[in-house]
Copies of this chain bind each other. A is one copy, B any other.
Amino acid sequence: MIKLSLEDVRQLATETLIGAGASSQNASAVADSTVLAERDGIRSHGLLYVPIYAEHVKCGKVDGTAVPVVEKVKSGSIRVDAKTGFAHPAIDAGFDAFIAATKENGVAALTTRNSYNCGVLGHHAERIAEQGLVGLCFTHAPASIAPTGGKTPVIGTNPFALAVPDTDNGAALVIDQSASTIAKSEILLRASKDETIEDNWALDSEGNPTTDAKAALKGSMLPSGGQKGFGVGLLVEIMASCLAGALLSRDAAPFSGTVGGPPKTGQCFLAFDTSAFSGELFVERISALTQAIEEQAGARLPGSRRKNNRQAIEKDGVIVDPTLLERIKKSG
């Protein structure tokens, strides 16, 4: 195994993406997100993704040289056309105007369309919290979840994320959760190993529960919490796809593989300036609320696992499999 510093991770990701054909600015925006994922121990969205990003630049699923276009249509609405490039530079392009609009109006929204997988959604929410604002983020994904009672996928694993500022330029808590019972990557992994899946993870193509991972991939994933879980994913769909003017999840090309062209999915981020609502009371309430959760043996605050990983990895660096490193180097 090889140990890399977070700075090594950044450099490796940047160079690989530039090697694949991305502009330096776009590569840098995506590399930042790779660093954050590795820093928090979210390996699925870290270096593992770099060869996929590189492949997607090469095959045209992502335009690595796209220049996003930002419009401020009304004083609280910033919309960005990602021009089938990476999501991260599109979000970056609108971010300062979004934060300024929030501080001016009390609340503002940033939407992106013709976009792509935005990586760890919670990091975008946390970036808003680092500006002293509450961040509520929605992003959608190619369809994998059927409506309850149906069998044809209509929405993706559609996560939402909420981050709340602390008094120290960080986040007091970060909720980041998808609408599905389990990550699709886990079902893909089980299928590749010919292993079974739990019976509440997915349905087969006929809409029946299945423990066969391959049958699940031809069917649909189950939402966490049944009809209500579907409702949460549908909320995300309406914000990140419909309001943003992106393609619907069911019309989006897959995030994985090289076929289908750009997914043209979207994001919708909201920010709230607490001074325009409850002000100092907000800080008091959040402090009492997080304490009421943390003081219970067995319970944990959402986001606490990532925070713990962060402390260790910032100190110790990232352990990388040499075969992954080889794959990354070849992909650029």
Contacts and interface: CB of A to CB of B under 8 A. Distances in A.
Interface of A: 73-77, 79, 104-109, 111, 113, 134, 136, 146-152, 154, 160, 162, 164, 175, 177, 207, 223-229, 231-232, 234-235, 237-239, 241-245, 248, 250-251, 270, 272-279, 281-282, 285-286, 288-289, 292-293, 296-300, 302
25 contacts: A77-B273, A107-B270, A113-B278, A147-B293, A147-B300, A150-B296, A151-B296, A154-B292, A164-B238, A164-B242, A177-B227, A224-B225, A224-B229, A225-B226, A225-B228, A228-B232, A231-B302, A238-B286, A241-B285, A242-B278, A243-B274, A243-B282, A245-B279, A248-B289, A251-B288
Nearest to A164: B238
Given A146-B299, A147-B293, A149-B300, 11 more contacts: A79-B278, A105-B107, A107-B109, A111-B277, A150-B296, A177-B228, A223-B225, A225-B228, A225-B232, A238-B286, A243-B277
Question: Which residue among A250, A282, A292 has the maximum number of chain B CB atoms within 10 Å of its CB?
Answer: A292
Taken together, the copies of this chain in the complex come to 2
Contact of A149 (B152, B162, B299): B299
A278 B245 contact: yes
A296 B241 CA distance: 21
A109 B272 contact: yes
B228 A277 contact: no
A186 B257 CA distance: 48
A105 B76 contact: yes
A285 B251 CA distance: 10
A212 to B, nearest CB: 22
Given A134-B243, A244-B278, A296-B151, A228 B229 contact: yes
Question: Which residue among A227, A282, A293 has the maximum number of chain B CB atoms within 10 Å of its CB?
Answer: A293
Contacts of A108: 76, 105-107
Nearest to A241: B285
A77 B152 CA distance: 40
Contacts of A231: 175, 177, 302
A238 B104 contact: no
A111 B150 CA distance: 37
Contacts of A286: 238, 242
A150 B297 contact: yes
A293 to B, nearest CB: 5
Question: Which residue among A105, A251, A274 has the maximum number of chain B CB atoms within 10 Å of its CB?
Answer: A105
Nearest to A163: B238
Contacts of A104: 74-75
**Top 3 nearest A-B pairs by Cβ distance?**
A225-B225, A245-B278, A77-B106
